[in-house]
Chain A
Amino acid sequence: MFEGLLTITVFLPATVAILVTLFARGKEVDRQVRWISIAASAVTFALTVMVYVGYDQAVGGIQMVDYYERWIPVDALRSSYLLGVDGLSAPLVLLTGILGLAAAFASWRIKKRVREYFMWLLLLETAVLGVFVSLDLLLFFIFFEFELIPMFMLIVLWGSGRPRYSAMKFVLFTLAGGAFMLVGILAIYVTPDVGTLAMVSIPELGITGIPELMAGAKLALPAALIFGFFFIAFAVKLPLWPVHSWLPDAHTDAPTAVSVMLAGVLLKMAGYGLLRINLGFFQETQDFTIHDVAGPMAIIAAISVIYGGIVTVRQTDMKRLIAYSSVSHMGFVMLGLSAVGASAVDTSAAGLNGAALQMFTHGTITGLAFLMVGLSYDRTHTRHIPHLGGLWKKMPMIAIFFLIAGFGSLGLPALSGFVAEIMVFLGTFSVWPWPTAVAAFGVVLAAGYTLWMVQRVFFGARPATPGLSDQVYENLTDASWVDMIPVIILAAPIFIIGLWPSVVTDVFDIGIQAVLR
């Protein structure tokens, strides 16, 4: 079975990237590369829309399968080229398409090494798409690791501040997590009763996936240990307290579009992994199941939310502030995941759905917030909050959309953040009342740091010792139409999902139900 749509979607950005790098020459090369790359992102976005719309909700299950069994034709290694989407991955594929397009437009003003920049950005998009559609563990791992190279390059070469330090920290954290994951993959694979790398069952193809085979199997290593290996890898990436410290550095020093991609989709690879692997594989394993650790997960989630929120309040750098708020917000994903409960009876699908939706909404909201910080920084050349003030008069559009991102982030009804958070709280409260009650204060903190920042930066008077000279302040301009394109691309889903959540939640629910079996 080979429908080809997913293969084309995944590899289109990379193909364009390589062709452009090899063949684009001449005087106008930067301008051409920019347009070609934006066009490639737009086509990829269209393809992801086709994937999302084409996913037949009435049928469910795994669809649009690209399967080539003899990808690695070695008897000792039964890995196949297996791509497919289900309800869990289809919205995330769409999210990647949206963010990819926004990031391409947001890179409009990149002047340095334009050709290389877009090559890495497009390769990054391929890697992320690959993670979401791979249904073979080895393939999943390859894409998961491959994403490091473009990310590293983008931060080091186009970053600001201490880019080498931040990029290295990011790579080392993720590589360490990846090493654990590889051991986990091998341990599952060498278990005699498993012996496959297929992450899901596809009856039409005669594929029995790891979740079925692992149920009741005698694993090569204790199930708790394998669970832990995957959990560490994804906790680093999510990131979860106490392994979050790479995130603020990487975010702060990365160029705007890369921060958008990092917050928007790269963190979601971890959430996706947690749902697909930690939740999907470990429900019926012998001796140990995910239910045994759902309680501690809820507690870590609550700590992440509150700790992330408190640290965020203390930040004076706009970008760092939003980066820390991600730690808090991704804590909600973990909290939703803990709604799996101490036993299968307790499981609250609403909480899990909330976790999935939180991933999607955080992608657009935080992506938008980073974008607005970037636009503001391009003009004022400072992100130091005490130096700013009264920018509203000079750049109303930027202020408005910054406010929208802020409201989304603190969970204002009618915006998508509200729906996701309310689902997480409702779903998890019945299962883990205390951690949920504690975590709910994260929303209060979010209101605090978001509104406080917006108030100080955009409204209010200019500070007594302003960071901007009067002349600079007077000459500030608002966002141009080119700047507004990615803003609109990211703001639209926030409203759409806020008003009409079922456009995404229905699909997520199909995926969650399938994972829960």
Chain B
Amino acid sequence: MTVNDFWVLSPEIAMALLALVVITADLITRNVMKVLFITLVGLTVPLVLALNLWYGWFGDPVAGSALFGTVEADRFSLFFKFLLITVSAGTILASVKYIAADRMKNYGGEFVSLLLLSVTGMMLLVSATELITIYVALELSALPIVALAAIHRTKQGIEAGTKFFVLSAISSAILLYGFAYIYGYVGSTNLEMIMERLAVIPTEAGVPFGSYAVLLAVILVVAGFGFKMAVVPWQMWVPDVYQGAPTPVAAFLSVASKASAFAVIMRIMYSAFGDPSMMQDWSGLFAILAAISMTVGNVLALAQSNMKRLLGYSTIAQAGYILVGVASVPANQVGSAFSGAGPQGAMYYLAGYAFTNLAVFFAVIAITMRTGDDSIDGLKGMLKRSPLLASLLVFGILSLLGMPPTVGFMAKVVVFGSALNANLAWLAVIGVVNTVIAAYYYLRVIRMIVFDDPVETSTFSGDKPILVAAGVAAIGTGIFGLAPFLLLEFAESALTIVPGL
């Protein structure tokens, strides 16, 4: 390892070290509040190191590849690293009350430490440019979540953990199968090398990707990551795990896990299969997945009565909207302009969705911890019982629904706009129809919160840390909707993976 390798990997190293520090501190102090404090302060270190790689504060930006070209700290990966660090900080803030609760007394340090290890895996995942590294990083990000989902050792928690573990293992197997095909066909696991070799291998006319082997490999890889992205038809674990796992873990899963899976799938597709003709092939695949995901997620959400399950289905639908951006590839663009509006829109959507979904989840955490009732009916009249939390929840739901001027609206406009531009008008139409379907169940929840009479009259407010976390998430939801350029320009300069830009 050279010095440069250290710099390139410095945010991940700092994050892994922090996980170790946290678990040691937990052993020594046995005081969970101190541990949380150390964690939140400690999170600034990987953040600063990641910012340094972007801006080059400590000398020239060293962004480049490390460890023999297996990881790369380009701006694309840094965009997601900022997001992941922010999300983990928010999740930990939102878990404070949760960790301090009696049944978690002995696991506080483990909870935080496992979460940080998972984030380390995700940060590595978004940087990885080589198939084996991608696989290892993916496992590192997934295994801690299994333990986190089951940390309560209740029947539901263990069911959630087991389900996640089994399906995660199956998806990894499918993914490896796909990687094996790629390696067998082109003889390399390096993404750039794959692209170079594919360009010289003779292709069969009329076959997508020029060969059935590559077609099969791409389908297997997409299927493997489909579990993590939670898109139909690999979505069935989502509602069960969300319902059974501790809610902060579900929040983390719905945002961080999804964002990193989208990041790595975009990187694989653009870096290894970024040839314009291939782009068109996988664009079609993602467009179909997007249409199915949006529709199935929204239709199934209509009949839910449990808030966490509803949010589970809603994230499936949201993944569909993000896929619209992934499917809108530059190669399909109408006219001569060759732009990265699609991937840029997907990144904007992911970041905006992260803020929105965290605001919703955190408000739900704060409310259900108090009421102990996670059915939708339990939210009745919440505006009267807890005005602040209910307002944050309603605002977040309005953004999920896509109401102007929130980030949810803007992101949908950008993503559907990019679809129109990429000759996918039918997909944009399906997207718009879906937002109308989604309005039905989102508005139903809002109606209960705002207009129905409360089941109980007692009033309450959330604890400070979770209010801060939810408030920051809600402010992000508003600001990034009113001033979309803040995130979009950031995403634009992070489009380092798209060839030809």
A-side residues, CB < 8 A to B, are 68, 70-77, 116, 138, 141-143, 145-146, 149, 153, 156-157, 164, 179, 182, 186, 190, 192
Contacts and interface: CB of A to CB of B under 8 A. Distances in A.
B404 A145 contact: yes
Nearest to B419: A76
Contact of B339 (A75, A146, A179, A192): A75
Contacts of B420: 76, 186, 190
B410 interface: yes
Interface string B433-454: 0001000000000000011000
B418 A73 contact: no
Interface in B465-492: 483-485, 488-489, 492
A20 to B, nearest CB: 13
Interface in B404-430: 404-405, 409-410, 413-414, 417-418, 420-422, 425
B410 A75 contact: no
A146 B403 CA distance: 8
Interface size class for chain B?
A: 20 to 34
B244 interface: no
A116 B387 CA distance: 10
8 contacts: A74-B341, A76-B417, A76-B418, A138-B413, A141-B404, A142-B409, A143-B404, A145-B403
Give me the 4 closest cross-chain CB pairs, A-B, nearest first.
A76-B341, A75-B339, A76-B421, A77-B417
B409 A73 contact: no
B320 interface: no
B280 to A, nearest CB: 17
A243 B223 CA distance: 49
A75 B337 contact: yes
Interface in B333-369: 335, 337, 339, 341-342, 344-345
A143 B485 CA distance: 18
B485 A73 contact: yes
Contacts, number: 71
Nearest to B483: A71
Given A72-B484, A74-B488, 8 more contacts: A70-B489, A72-B413, A72-B414, A74-B492, A75-B339, A142-B405, A142-B409, A190-B425
Contact of A77 (B403, B413, B422): B413
Contacts of A153: 450
A70 B342 CA distance: 17
A72 B418 contact: no
Contact of A71 (B403, B404, B451, B485): B485
A73 B417 contact: no
Contacts of B405: 142, 146
Contact of A142 (B344, B404, B422): B404
B485 to A, nearest CB: 5
A145 B401 CA distance: 14
Contact of B418 (A68, A74, A141, A156): A74
Given A77-B417, A145-B404, A192-B335, A72 B410 contact: yes
B451 A77 contact: no
B61 to A, nearest CB: 22
A6 to B, nearest CB: 15
Interface of B: 328, 335, 337, 339, 341-342, 344-345, 387, 398, 403-405, 409-410, 413-414, 417-418, 420-422, 425, 432, 436, 450-451, 483-485, 488-489, 492
A75 B398 CA distance: 27
B411 to A, nearest CB: 10
Contacts of B485: 68, 70-73
Contact of A73 (B328, B387, B421, B492): B492
A192 B334 CA distance: 9
Contact of A75 (B341, B403, B436, B451): B341
Contacts of B342: 76
Nearest to A167: B451
Contacts of A72: 410, 413-414, 484-485, 488
Contact of B414 (A77, A116, A141, A149): A77
Contacts of B341: 74-77
A196 B483 CA distance: 19
Nearest to A115: B387
B213 to A, nearest CB: 34
Contacts of B344: 74
A74 B420 CA distance: 13
Contacts of B492: 73-74
A141 B404 CA distance: 9
A145 B7 CA distance: 48
Contacts of A141: 404
B325 to A, nearest CB: 10
Contact of B345 (A74, A145, A164): A74
B409 A77 contact: no
Interface centre among A70, A77, A149 (most CB of B within 10 A): A77
A146 B404 contact: yes
Contacts of A192: 335
Contacts of A142: 404-405, 409
Given A142-B404, A142-B409, A190-B420, A74 B414 contact: yes
A187 B94 CA distance: 44
Q: Which has the most chain B C-beta neighbours within 10 Å: A75, A156, A157?
A: A75
A74 B404 contact: no
A70 B425 CA distance: 24
| Residue among B337, B398, B488 facing the most chain A CB atoms (10 A cut-off) | B488
Nearest to B478: A18
Contacts of B489: 70, 73
Contacts of B410: 72
B488 A73 contact: yes
Contacts of B422: 76
A68 B335 CA distance: 25
Given A74-B344, A149-B403, A156 B451 contact: yes
Contacts of B337: 75
A128 to B, nearest CB: 14
A157 B447 CA distance: 12
User: Which of A116, A138, A182, A186 has most B Cβ within 10 Å?
Assistant: A186
Contacts of B484: 71-72
Contacts of B339: 74-76
Nearest to B335: A192
B117 to A, nearest CB: 36
A198 to B, nearest CB: 16
A428 B45 CA distance: 72
Contacts of A116: 387
A208 B436 CA distance: 33
A141 B328 CA distance: 24
Contacts of A190: 420, 425
Contacts of A71: 483-485
A245 B492 CA distance: 47
A75 B409 CA distance: 18
A268 B235 CA distance: 47
Nearest to A21: B391
A172 to B, nearest CB: 11
A157 to B, nearest CB: 8
Contacts of B398: 149
Nearest to A171: B443
Contacts of B345: 74, 76
